């Protein structure tokens, strides 16, 4: 008999600080990127769907807001299993959903980064927790459920399995018209080790996917969306330069495809890779510069990889943008060495470097990170359980040289400057110029 599985992705993240939220509404440039991220489907759940036998009928749902009609609708479908994936910022909403479904005798499984690092907390709200890379334990979990022997925990943490052995994500479950960006993973993990990073090493060592397998996924996506915009759901795509050149050449074989990814500044050092990028559909790369202040970068990664490159930041941005690739530069505020002056210096850097896109966030100690352990040990967390404020835009700890209120205030001022209509317009014009130079070179 066919069984029913409902996959629930907790999408959308709300800034808690009411003043920043109100400000964001007046600064379209600020909410743009948040909207882009929220508009992407959950690759983890689509991959889990790919690992589900044909004897299951699968539905994929996004829960952006907890509207009252959502739960009765899910209960009325009488699923045999609901699987929920949530980041920390939406985990309290996820718990409400899970608790209500379990009261209705519907088994619930939870996974995602938060569940992977706090399985004991999560297990109080579900029948089983999936840790780490769930696709490799999912078939066992379903078999156990069907035989009435579901275990409380299944772990795919640090599973050594090759990336190409993951099942093909079930993109066909998505409403085609709803999505304009499709996620695809080509690497997992990152060899750098920034202390605030929740993604780089927690669940998997650094892995590359084979190009043959990437081609299969691109073909699957293009059979549904002929002109897709692909967002590579990688932590740091271009670490391995030889493989990256081959990857970009492969992506260039799809002329109607445009794409975006995250990487680091070493991209600027590889002429051949830059040339391939110019010819490809790459629209933008996102690079975490984190800070323009040397002593703030001191604490970023243990090998000070970023600090050692600070002096080259501007020149390398120029080099990448001259190749026709827009750079989205990310800066974080709240490092222990940050002072009032850090904000002024960052604004000056942003203007002088001619970055064509900018992302600002507050330092956030996500559970499981080195930063979380440090701040907790130093008794600097404002609340024990602050998951809903893990938005990247809310202050959740005592900064060193600011009160939490003053850091929020300076951050709002910075947001007002960087996302003012004039600054946003200037960056938009710059992106157009960069794009035109790319077209003329390719
Ligand atoms: S470079 Fe980026 S992905 Fe890598 S550890 Fe640092 S923040 Fe994480």
pLDDT digits (tens, 9 = 90+) for 188-216: 988 888 999 987 677 888 899 999 999 99
197 lines ligand 1 (CB under 6 A): yes
End-to-end Cα separation, the chain, in angstroms: 54
Q: Which residue lies with its CA nearest to atom 3 of ligand 1?
A: 235
State how far the Cα of 199 lies from the Cα of 235, in Å rounded to an integer: 7
Q: What is the CATH number of the domain that holds 405?
A: 3.80.30.20
Query: How close is the Cα of 290 to the center of ligand 1, in Å?
Result: 10
Q: Model-level pTM greater than 0.85?
A: yes
75 and 224 in a single domain? The answer is: no
| Dihedral pair phi/psi, residue 128, rounded to 5° | -150, 145
190 lines ligand 1 (CB under 6 A): yes
Q: How many domains does the chain have?
A: 2
State how far the Cα of 285 lies from the Cα of 277, in Å rounded to an integer: 10
Query: How close is the Cα of 196 to the center of ligand 1, in Å?
Result: 8
Q: Is residue 127 part of a domain?
A: yes
Q: Is residue 36 part of a domain?
A: no
139 and 264 in a single domain? The answer is: no
Cβ-in-10-Å burial (0-12, 13-18, 19+) of 41 comes to buried
217 and 146 in a single domain? The answer is: no
Q: Is residue 405 part of a domain?
A: yes
Q: What domain range includes position 138?
A: 3-16+42-156
151 and 186 in a single domain? The answer is: no
pLDDT given for residue 25 in this prediction: 66
214 and 315 in a single domain? The answer is: yes
295 and 432 in a single domain? The answer is: yes
Atom number of ligand 1 nearest to Cα 197 = 8
pLDDT digits (tens, 9 = 90+) for 260-291: 999 999 999 999 999 999 999 999 999 999 99
192 lines ligand 1 (CB under 6 A): yes
User: Domain ends where: 91, 121, 156?
Assistant: 156
Q: What is the CATH number of the domain that holds 73?
A: 3.40.50.2300
State how far the Cα of 287 lies from the Cα of 301, in Å rounded to an integer: 15
DSSP annotation of 403 reads -
pLDDT given for residue 335 in this prediction: 97
199 lines ligand 1 (CB under 6 A): yes
| Dihedral pair phi/psi, residue 167, rounded to 5° | -65, 155
29 falls in which pLDDT band (50, 70, 90)? low
Q: Is residue 27 part of a domain?
A: no
User: Domain ends where: 156, 172, 193?
Assistant: 156
Q: Which tops the pLDDT comparison, 88 or 23?
A: 88
Q: Which residue lies with its CA nearest to atom 7 of ligand 1?
A: 197
Q: Is residue 140 part of a domain?
A: yes
Name the residue of 194, 234, 263, 289 whose CB sits within 8 Å of the most ligand 1 atoms, as the mutation to test its pocket: 194
Strand partners, 153: 129
pLDDT digits (tens, 9 = 90+) for 32-79: 666 666 678 999 999 999 999 999 999 999 998 878 888 999 999 999
332 lines ligand 1 (CB under 6 A): no
């Amino acid at each position: 008999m066919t069984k029913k599985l409902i996959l629930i992705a907790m999408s959308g993240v709300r800034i808690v600080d009411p003043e920043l939220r109100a400000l964001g509404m007046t600064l379209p440039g600020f909410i743009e990127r948040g909207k882009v991220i929220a508009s992407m489907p959950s690759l983890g759940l689509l991959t889990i769907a790919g690992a589900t036998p044909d004897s299951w009928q699968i539905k994929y749902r996004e829960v952006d807001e907890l509207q009252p009609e959502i739960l009765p609708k899910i209960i009325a479908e009488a699923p045999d299993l609901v699987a929920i994936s949530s980041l920390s910022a939406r985990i309290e909403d996820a718990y409400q959903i899970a608790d209500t479904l379990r009261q209705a005798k519907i088994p619930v499984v939870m996974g995602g980064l938060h569940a992977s690092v706090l399985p004991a907390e999560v297990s109080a709200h579900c029948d089983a927790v999936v840790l780490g890379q769930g696709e490799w334990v999912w078939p066992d979990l379903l078999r156990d459920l069907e035989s009435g022997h579901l275990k409380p925990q299944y772990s795919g943490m640090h599973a050594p399995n090759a990336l190409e052995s993951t099942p093909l994500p079930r993109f066909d479950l998505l409403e085609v018209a709803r999505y304009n960006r499709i996620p695809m993973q080509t690497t997992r993990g990152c060899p750098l080790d920034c202390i605030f990073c929740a993604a780089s090493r927690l669940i998997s060592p650094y892995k590359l996917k084979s190009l043959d397998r990437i081609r299969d996924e691109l073909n699957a996506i293009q059979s549904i969306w002929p002109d897709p915009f692909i967002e590579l759901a990688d932590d740091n795509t271009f670490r391995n330069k030889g493989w990256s050149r081959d990857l970009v050449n492969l992506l260039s074989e799809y002329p109607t495809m445009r794409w975006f990814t995250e990487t680091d500044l070493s991209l600027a050092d590889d002429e051949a890779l830059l040339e391939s990028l110019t010819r490809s559909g790459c629209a933008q790369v996102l690079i975490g510069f984190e800070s323009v202040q040397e002593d703030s970068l001191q604490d970023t990664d243990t090998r000070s990889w970023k600090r050692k490159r600070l002096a080259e930041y501007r020149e390398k941005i120029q080099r990448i943008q001259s190749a026709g690739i827009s750079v989205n530069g990310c800066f974080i505020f709240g490092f222990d060495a940050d002072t009032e002056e850090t904000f002024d210096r960052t604004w000056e850097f942003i203007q002088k470097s001619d970055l064509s896109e900018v992302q600002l966030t507050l330092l956030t100690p996500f559970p499981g990170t080195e930063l979380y352990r440090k701040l907790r040990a130093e008794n600097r967390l404002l609340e024990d359980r602050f998951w809903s404020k893990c938005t990247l835009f809310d202050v959740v700890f005592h900064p060193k040289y600011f009160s939490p209120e003053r850091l929020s205030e300076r951050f709002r001022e910075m947001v007002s400057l960087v996302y003012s209509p004039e600054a946003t317009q200037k960056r938009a014009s710059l992106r157009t110029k960069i794009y035109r130079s790319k077209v003329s070179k390719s």
